[in-house]
Chains A and B, each alone.
Chain A
Amino acid sequence: MITLREVQMNYPLEQGEVQVLQEVNLTIQPGESAAVVGPSGSGKTTLLLLLAGLDQPTTGSIEIEGTRISSLSADEMADLRRDRIGIIFQSFHLIPSLSAIGNVTLPLEIAGDPDALDKAREMLNRVGLNHRMEHYPNQLSGGEQQRVAIARALVHQPPLILADEPTGNLDKNTGASVSDLLFDLHDNLGTTLVMVTHDPQMAMRCDRQLHLDEGKLIEKMHEQADARSV
C-alpha cells in the first residue's frame, strides 16, 4: 500500500537548513494500522503531510498503491486525495461556513457523486450525529467536530486514512470515544490507517508502532523491549 524509500525532508530557514526526516524507509501493507509516535518537533506531522502529497520530500520516493506520488502533477495528486485518501486533522479543519452535512458531502461532491447527500447522511448516522446534520462547526463540541471530520475523511471510502493526532484537542473521555469510533470504522471498512498520536493507549491499538526521533524512524514491537530500525 505505502512504500517510503530513503525519504529525507529538509526545510530551508534563514538561520540554515533544518533536517526533519532522515532516510526514512517504511512499508505499510493494505489494511494495516500504524501509529507514528515521537516527541514534539520530531517530524510526525511532516511525515503525514508527505504521505498526503501536500508536501514533497527533499530526496527519496513515496509510493501509494504502486504510484510514485512525486511523478504526479498537482491535479493528479489532488485527484488521488479525492479518491484514495482521507485525512483527519488534530484541529478538525472543518469548513466553518458549511454545516455538518455540507462538510461531509464535500469530498463526494468534488468527485461528482450523485448520491453524495445520502452517503453523507449515512456516514453521519454511523458516527452518531444524525441529529446534528444542519449544525455548523461553531455549534458543535470538539468531539462532535472531530466526528464530523472522521465522517468526512471516510465518506468516500478511501483505502488510506491519515490521522494527525485525532484526539489531540479532546478531553480524555471524548478522545476515547472518538478513538473507538475511528478504530471501529477502520476495522469495518478495512482501510489502511496511519495515525500520528501522543496517546500511548491509542498507539497500542494499532498493528504497528513507528517511533520518530530526531528525524529517524524506528519501529517498536508491541511486546519486545528492544528497538530495531525499520
Chain B
Amino acid sequence: MRALFKLAWQDLRGSGQSLWVLCACLALGVTLIAATGGLYRQVSEGLLADSRELSGGDLQVHARAPLPEPVLQWMNATGIVSLVTELDTMMGTMAGAFQLVELQSVDDNYPLYGELTLSPNLPLSTVTGKGKGNENGNGLWGIAVDPVFGQRLAITPGDRVEIGQLEFEVRAFITQQPDRSLSANWRGAPVMIAADGLKASGLLLPSSRIDYEYRVRTSQTPDAWQSDFFAAFPNSEWEVRSFLDQSDRIAERLSQVASGLLIIGFSTLFIGGLGVYNSVQAYLQGKLGTIATLRAVGLRDNRLAAVYLLQILIMSGLSCLVGALLGFFIALAGAALTATQVQVETAVLSAVLPCLIAFVFGILTALTFSFPAIGRALSVNPAALFRALDGVETQTPAAWWRATAVGVLLIVGLVLLVLPDGLFALAFTGAVAGLLLLLEGIVRLIRRGALRLDQRPGVRRHFALHLAMANLHRHGSALRASLLTLGSALTLLVACTIVVATLIDTIANTIPDESPTLIL
C-alpha cells in the first residue's frame, strides 16, 4: 500500500494540476453545504434552546376576556402566572403622524423567562407609571416603544403621543424583549403600557378586540399541565399552547428555509460532480499511456485502480477540507450576524457536524462521479496503445457502473437524511433524476436528428455543416458530456434562483419593512 501511495503521490505531483477543476467544483459545493447547514443548526438549536424565553413561558392560555377567578386560582397553584394584555390601536404624534401600534400591558411577573431591557435602563413600572420618571411630574402615563418605530415616527424619550383619549409620554425604548422575536404582531409595532394606563386611555370597551395571554411557568411537563387544565375545565374554549408547539413551528419554518438554502448547496455539489467527471475523464485520457506502461511492468489491475482512486481521494480530500473549513467560518460569521437580529445564543460546536457531513458529501460525490471515468480508462487494452492506434474505444465496465450506483444511492440517502424538510429532499432528488432523464432524451433526439440531417445530400455538400452534424452523432462525441453538464448547471441555477427569490419574497411579505426586533 505504501508503494501505491508513493506512486500515486509522485504521479499526482507531476501532473495533478489539471485536476484543479475537480478541486474548485468540490470546494465550492462543500463550502455552501457546510455554511448553510452550520448556520441552520446554530440558529435552530439556539432558538429551540431559548424557546421557553421566546414563547414567554412554558405554556400560554389565550382568551378574549379575562379568565374567571377560579381558573386563575387554579393556574396560580400550578406555577407562576403572568398576564400580557394586547390591543391594536392608532397612535398619533404631536406632529400629526398616525401609526397602528400594538399596545402591551404586562404585570409584575413579566417576563417569566429572560429579561426586559429598556433604554434608559429604568424599571418598566417607572417608565409606564403615571407622572413618574419625569422630574416635572406632569401626571402623564408613560410608554416604552420599539426604537425602529420611534425612529420612523421621529419620536424620542420625552416626546408626547396620543393613544385613545389620553396623551402619553414616551419614556424609553425597548432594547430587549425576550418574547418579541417569535410573537411579532405584524399589525402594529409594540408599545408597552401600564394596565391602568390602558384602562385610562378609554380603549377598553366591550367591543374592543383585546387579547388576554396568560403565561405560565411551571415545574410540570407541558403535556401534564395541559391534561390537568382540560380535566379541571373541560368546557373551556380557551386556546392552550406550550413552548413545544412553538418549537415545532419554529423548527418547521426554519427547516423550510434551511432546506431551500441547502438545496442550493446540493445543486452546486451535483453540478460540481459533473465537473468532477469531466475533469477526471480528461485527466485519465492523458494517462492512458501511463496506465498501459504500468500494466506492462506488472502492476495488477486492482492496484492500478487503487493508484488512481488514491489520487482522487487526495485531491478531493484536500478540496473538501478547504470547503468544510471555509463553510465553518462562514457559518460562524452568519450566526454572529443573526444573533444581532434574533436574540439567541449560538453554539460554535453546533456548526461542526454539518461541516463533517458536507465533507463526507464531497468525498462521496468525488468518488461516485469518478468511478465511471476510472473504469473507462482502466478498460483500455494496453496492446492497442502500444500499437499506437488512435481513437481507442473504451467502455466503462459493469463493475464500475455498479460502484457508481452504490455511490448514487448513498448520496441520495444522505440527502434525504440531511435535508430538514423531507418533502424538499424528495422533490429535489426526484427533480434531479427527472432532469437527467430529460437531458439524456434530448441528447438522443439531437443525435438522431443530426444523423438524419447528415445523410441528406444537401448537408453533405456543405463541408462545415457535414462536419458539425458528424460531430454531433459520431460515437464518442462530446455532445452527451457537454449537454448534461451545461443543461444541469443552467437548470439548477434557474431553480435555485427561483427558490431564493421565493424565500426572500415570502420573508419580505411576512415581515414589514419597518419591522422591529424581527422575525419568525
Residues of A within 8 A of B (CB): 45-46, 49, 52, 54-55, 74-75, 78-83, 85, 87, 89, 91, 93-98, 102, 106-107, 109-112, 136, 152, 164
Tell whether, in the assembled complex, residue B14 and residue A78 are in contact, meaning their CB atoms are under 8 Å apart. Answer: no
Tell whether, in the assembled complex, residue B386 and residue A164 are in contact, meaning their CB atoms are under 8 Å apart. Answer: yes
| B395 interfacial contact with A, CB 8 Å | no
Tell whether, in the assembled complex, residue B11 and residue A97 are in contact, meaning their CB atoms are under 8 Å apart. Answer: yes
| B502 interfacial contact with A, CB 8 Å | no
Tell whether, in the assembled complex, residue A78 and residue B292 are in contact, meaning their CB atoms are under 8 Å apart. Answer: no
Tell whether, in the assembled complex, residue B301 and residue A98 are in contact, meaning their CB atoms are under 8 Å apart. Answer: no
Tell whether, in the assembled complex, residue A78 and residue B383 are in contact, meaning their CB atoms are under 8 Å apart. Answer: no
- Partner of A110 from B292, B299, B386, B387 at Cβ < 8 Å: B299
| B477 interfacial contact with A, CB 8 Å | no
With A83-B298, A93-B289 known, 9 other A-B pairs at CB within 8 A are: A49-B386, A54-B381, A75-B302, A78-B301, A79-B298, A82-B297, A95-B290, A98-B11, A111-B298
- Nearest A-chain residue to B388, judged by Cβ: A91
Q: What would be 30 A-B contacts, judged by CB atoms less than 8 Å apart?
A: A52-B296, A54-B295, A54-B386, A55-B381, A74-B300, A74-B301, A75-B302, A78-B298, A79-B298, A81-B295, A81-B297, A93-B296, A93-B386, A95-B293, A95-B294, A96-B15, A97-B11, A97-B13, A97-B15, A97-B290, A98-B10, A98-B14, A106-B294, A106-B297, A109-B3, A109-B7, A110-B297, A110-B298, A112-B3, A152-B297
CA A89 – CA B381 in complex, angstroms? 16
Tell whether, in the assembled complex, residue B293 and residue A93 are in contact, meaning their CB atoms are under 8 Å apart. Answer: yes
User: A residues within 8 A CB of B6?
Assistant: 109
Asked whether A49 and B387 contact (CB < 8 A) given A81-B296, A95-B11, A112-B3, the answer is yes
CA A74 – CA B295 in complex, angstroms? 10
User: B residues within 8 A CB of A87?
Assistant: 296-297
| B382 interfacial contact with A, CB 8 Å | yes
User: B residues within 8 A CB of A81?
Assistant: 295-298
User: B residues within 8 A CB of A55?
Assistant: 381, 383
- Nearest B-chain residue to A92, judged by Cβ: B293
User: B residues within 8 A CB of A110?
Assistant: 3, 297-299, 303
CB distance from B378 to the nearest CB of A (A): 11
- Nearest A-chain residue to B382, judged by Cβ: A54
Number of interface residues of B (CB under 8 A): 29
- Nearest B-chain residue to A52, judged by Cβ: B296
Asked whether A46 and B387 contact (CB < 8 A) given A96-B290, A97-B13, the answer is yes
User: A residues within 8 A CB of B388?
Assistant: 91
B3, B382, B386 interface centre (most CB from chain A within 10 Å): B386
CA A136 – CA B11 in complex, angstroms? 12
User: A residues within 8 A CB of B300?
Assistant: 74-75, 78-79
User: A residues within 8 A CB of B289?
Assistant: 93
CB distance from A54 to the nearest CB of B (A): 5
B290, B383, B388 interface centre (most CB from chain A within 10 Å): B383
- Nearest A-chain residue to B389, judged by Cβ: A11
User: B residues within 8 A CB of A46?
Assistant: 383, 387
User: B residues within 8 A CB of A83?
Assistant: 298
User: B residues within 8 A CB of A80?
Assistant: 298
User: A residues within 8 A CB of B298?
Assistant: 78-83, 85, 107, 110-111
B9-33 Cβ-contact flags toward A at 8 Å (1 or 0): 0111111000000000000000000
User: A residues within 8 A CB of B297?
Assistant: 81-82, 87, 106-107, 110, 152
The 5 closest A-B pairs by CB, nearest first: A97-B14, A82-B298, A55-B383, A81-B298, A109-B3
Tell whether, in the assembled complex, residue A97 and residue B10 are in contact, meaning their CB atoms are under 8 Å apart. Answer: yes
User: B residues within 8 A CB of A97?
Assistant: 10-15, 290
CA A75 – CA B305 in complex, angstroms? 13
CB distance from B5 to the nearest CB of A (A): 11
CA A51 – CA B383 in complex, angstroms? 11
Tell whether, in the assembled complex, residue B387 and residue A45 are in contact, meaning their CB atoms are under 8 Å apart. Answer: yes
User: B residues within 8 A CB of A109?
Assistant: 3, 6-7
- Nearest B-chain residue to A81, judged by Cβ: B298
CB distance from A52 to the nearest CB of B (A): 7
CA A102 – CA B10 in complex, angstroms? 9
Tell whether, in the assembled complex, residue A93 and residue B292 are in contact, meaning their CB atoms are under 8 Å apart. Answer: yes
CB distance from B393 to the nearest CB of A (A): 11
User: B residues within 8 A CB of A95?
Assistant: 11, 290, 293-294
Asked whether A136 and B14 contact (CB < 8 A) given A93-B293, A109-B3, A110-B299, the answer is yes
CA A224 – CA B296 in complex, angstroms? 37
CA A111 – CA B300 in complex, angstroms? 11
A74, A93, A111 interface centre (most CB from chain B within 10 Å): A93
CB distance from B124 to the nearest CB of A (A): 74
CB distance from B462 to the nearest CB of A (A): 26
CB distance from A134 to the nearest CB of B (A): 12
- Nearest A-chain residue to B381, judged by Cβ: A55
CA A75 – CA B299 in complex, angstroms? 8
User: B residues within 8 A CB of A89?
Assistant: 296, 386
CA A112 – CA B300 in complex, angstroms? 13
User: B residues within 8 A CB of A164?
Assistant: 386
CB distance from A175 to the nearest CB of B (A): 20
B355-381 Cβ-contact flags toward A at 8 Å (1 or 0): 000000000000000000000000001
- Nearest B-chain residue to A83, judged by Cβ: B298
CA A87 – CA B381 in complex, angstroms? 16
Tell whether, in the assembled complex, residue B295 and residue A78 are in contact, meaning their CB atoms are under 8 Å apart. Answer: yes
User: A residues within 8 A CB of B383?
Assistant: 46, 49, 54-55
- Nearest B-chain residue to A84, judged by Cβ: B298
CB distance from A21 to the nearest CB of B (A): 13
CA A46 – CA B387 in complex, angstroms? 8
